[in-house]
């Protein structure tokens, strides 16, 4: 059984999280510049046996797509062309950034650390992946 990778896609930075090989826990992985994402995925996917990729699907409270989808959809199309054997599943990411900030506060992170957007993106990807794992149970 391969890992599940989660992508919290952003215009500037993208947070990534991954499960353990048994798909029990979600772990923060890295935050990278979005312009480097395809190369990073090319280097990471195959040697790490990733069987599924989850990507955050931002929606408004009424369930319609947020404006961010105009950036995410072209990435999803490119991903599917470049990695046809790796399923890419959009998953609702509402409130993941808010929950990431709450987790950082609850975890005792200092204000200066909480202002690091790269940390927020990585934690948001982890929350997205945890939500997906809970949904599948």
* Every domain of the chain and the residues it spans: 3-136
| Nearest Cα residue to 15 out of 96, 103, 131 | 96
Q: What is the helix (H) or strand (E) element at residue 50, kind and residue range?
A: strand 50-57
Residues 46, 28: Cα–Cα separation, whole Å? 19
State residue 20's pLDDT score: 94
Residues 16, 3: Cα–Cα separation, whole Å? 13
- The Cβ of residue 7 has, within 10 Å, a number of other Cβ atoms equal to 27
Kindly tell me the burial class for residue 106, based on how many C-beta atoms sit within 10 Å of its own C-beta (0-12, 13-18, 19 or more): exposed
* Residue that is written with structure tokens 């987790």 in the block: 103
Per-residue pLDDT of the chain (137 residues; tens, 9 = 90+): 799 999 999 999 999 999 999 999 999 999 999 999 999 999 999 899 999 999 998 877 777 777 888 999 999 999 999 999 999 999 987 656 555 556 555 666 566 655 556 677 778 899 899 989 988 87
125 pairs with which residues across the strands?
Answer: none
- Look up the pTM and report it: 0.85
- The Cβ of residue 12 has, within 10 Å, a number of other Cβ atoms equal to 10
| CATH number, domain 3-136, options 1.20.1730.10, 3.40.1780.10, 3.30.590.10, 3.30.420.140 | 3.30.420.140
Residues 39, 97: Cα–Cα separation, whole Å? 25
| Nearest Cα residue to 6 out of 126, 119, 123 | 126
State residue 105's pLDDT score: 57
């Amino acid at each position: 059984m391969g890992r599940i990778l989660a992508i919290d896609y952003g215009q500037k930075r993208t947070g990534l999280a991954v499960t353990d090989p048994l798909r029990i826990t979600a772990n923060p992985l890295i935050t990278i510049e979005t312009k480097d994402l395809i190369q990073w995925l090319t280097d990471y996917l195959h040697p790490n046996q990733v069987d599924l990729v989850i990507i955050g699907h931002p929606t408004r409270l009424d369930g319609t797509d947020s404006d961010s989808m105009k950036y995410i959809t072209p990435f999803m199309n490119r991903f599917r062309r470049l990695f046809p054997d790796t399923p890419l599943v959009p998953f609702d990411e509402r409130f993941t950034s808010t929950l990431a900030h709450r987790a950082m506060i609850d975890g005792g992170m200092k204000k200066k650390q909480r202002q690091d957007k790269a940390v927020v993106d990585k934690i948001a990807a982890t929350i997205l992946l945890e939500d997906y794992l809970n949904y599948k149970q």
